[in-house]
Amino acid sequence: MIIFRLARQSLLNRRLTAILTILSIALSVVLLLGVEKVRVGARTSFINTISGTDLIVGARAGDVQLLLYSVFRIGNATNNISVETLEDIKRQKEVKWLVPISLGDSHRGFRVMGTTKDYFTRYKYRRNVPLGFTGGVAFDDLFDAVIGSEVAKQLGYKVGASISVAHGTGNVSFGASHDDKPFQVSGILEPTGTPVDRTVHISLEAIEAIHVGWQSGSAPRGENIISADQVRKMDLAPKIVTAAYIGLKSKIGIFSLQRYINNYREEPVTAILPGVAFAQLWAIIGNAEMALIVISTMVVFTAFLGMIISILGTLNERRREMAILRAIGARPLQIFALFVAEAAALAIGGVVVGVSILYGLLELTWQWIEKATGLYIQFEAPGQQEITYLVIIILGGILAGIIPALRAYRMSVSDGLTVRS
């Protein structure tokens, strides 16, 4: 115990240096644990872009490709699937609900997606968080549109605004637009931090309506143009869609239904498990997280190097202190333990201060971070990985203290009492 009392008193005598060393370690702890929080939050937010959906069905393609265009609105489908196929799938006993989606159009660079009203109750993100509206309601009229929060923010749209849809997915339509059939914004969704924020949602019937007369692939002209009033009188039941989200009555039947869909004889279709596809995609794009961990580790190493330099820098000033301790009976091993105890105290102090700073910052900013970036950072006690990092930092601090401790250990009484000129 006397070693710890001596270490405490020694650090108090050099309080300015000790405080700076503790802050250095604390900032490295904040960076290391902050990066870990962001890494885990990014992965969690990424994987939970869609939640509560058991299977995603689309035309025959790779798992990642189907995930990219059906969830992230990136790229295009290799083919469409027929509504008859979806009806066969929906009739399977395992299926609780099925929500079709149709892609292919855009509005000023934002993807337009056709779907049903069930989408707004069935689609969930993060941990089964449902979609909500900041204003308006889901579409009721044929030419109603529900827009994501980012669409509304960037384009300045309010409920009741008039918008038109362009044919294709580019920023510029080059005349291939559906201006003759404008839509009215009926609702604006709450921010989710997912691709939903950058999507314009319309009904599947509206997708059919704006493409009436486009069978040749180009816009109808002259007397072939069909007005919005004329379209309302037509049968607009969709015949094909791009993909569908499926929810099951029980997780037990997920693999049997997936096997049924993948072996479906009437049409080449694929069913993927979102979680598995997300893991495959993260394996491709998630390598950057290792670089973040390496950078944070280097910062921690730099903090320990500063601690070593700080303690070594005081050795010459403390020669008389060491000599007096040796003269009153302190053994070399006790001098060694004193320096190690000081290093341990600095490391533990840095960890405690660093964790306090990190969680204080999270308490103040986590809601803003989630709203601004969509990054879901869980505000909870350090997990197993984080505790491991903290233990390693403390042990690293103790090991770093061994270097100056060895030098102090080797100092003799005569060396300490000699006045150097």
Long-range contacts of 65-68 (CB under 8 A, 24+ apart): 66/243, 66/270, 66/272, 66/277, 67/272, 67/274, 67/277, 67/278, 67/281, 68/281
User: Do residues 59 and 77 touch, judged by C-beta distance below 8 A?
Assistant: yes
Please tell me the predicted confidence (pLDDT) of residue 166: 85
Q: What is the DSSP string of 90-105?
A: HTSTTEEEEEEEEEEE
More reliable by pLDDT, 231 or 312: 231
Average pLDDT over residues 166-184: 69
Secondary structure in 3-state letters for 319-376: HHHHHHHHHCCCCHHHHHHHHHHHHHHHHHHHHHHHHHHHHHHHHHHHHHHHHHHCCC
Q: What is the pLDDT of residues 37-66, one digit of tens each?
A: 877 777 777 777 888 899 999 999 889 999
Residues of the chain with pLDDT > 90, as a percent, come to 36
Q: Look at residue 413 in the predicted model and tell me its pLDDT.
A: 47
Q: Is 154 exposed, middle or buried (0-12, 13-18, 19+ CB in 10 A)?
A: middle
Q: Which of 117, 293, 131 is nearest to 205 (CA)?
A: 117
pLDDT class for 69, splitting at 50, 70, 90? very high
pLDDT band at 406 (very low <50, low <70, confident <90, very high): confident
Which pLDDT score is estimated for 378?
A: 67
Cα dihedral: 395, 397, 399, 403 (round 10)? -170
Distance CA(376)–CA(371), nearest Å, equals: 9
The span from the first CA to the last CA of the chain, in angstroms, equals 37
**HEC profile of 165-209:** CEECCCCCCCCCECCCCCEEEEEEECCCCCHHHHEEEEEHHHHHH
**Each residue of 252-311: pLDDT tens digit?**
989 999 999 999 999 999 999 998 988 888 777 666 677 777 777 787 778 777 777 777
Distance (Å, whole) CA 197 – CA 203: 17
Handedness of CA 44, 47, 50, 51 (dihedral sign): negative
pLDDT for 174 equals 45
Query: What pLDDT shows up at residue 299?
Result: 78
Mean pLDDT of all residues in 233-242: 90
334-358 pLDDT tens trace: 777 777 888 888 888 889 999 999 9
Q: Strand, helix or coil at 210?
A: helix
Over the stretch 200-220, which tens digit does the pLDDT of each residue have?
A: 999 999 999 888 766 555 555
Find out whether 149 and 134 touch, Cβ atoms under 8 Å: yes
Q: How far is CA 160 from the centre of its chain?
A: 33
Q: Which positions ≥6 away from 206 have C-beta within 8 Å?
A: 114, 139, 142, 143, 144, 145, 183, 236
Is it the case that residue 321 has pLDDT exceeding 70?
no
For the chain, percent of residues with pLDDT exceeding 70 = 80
Confidence of residue 169 (pLDDT cuts 50, 70, 90): low
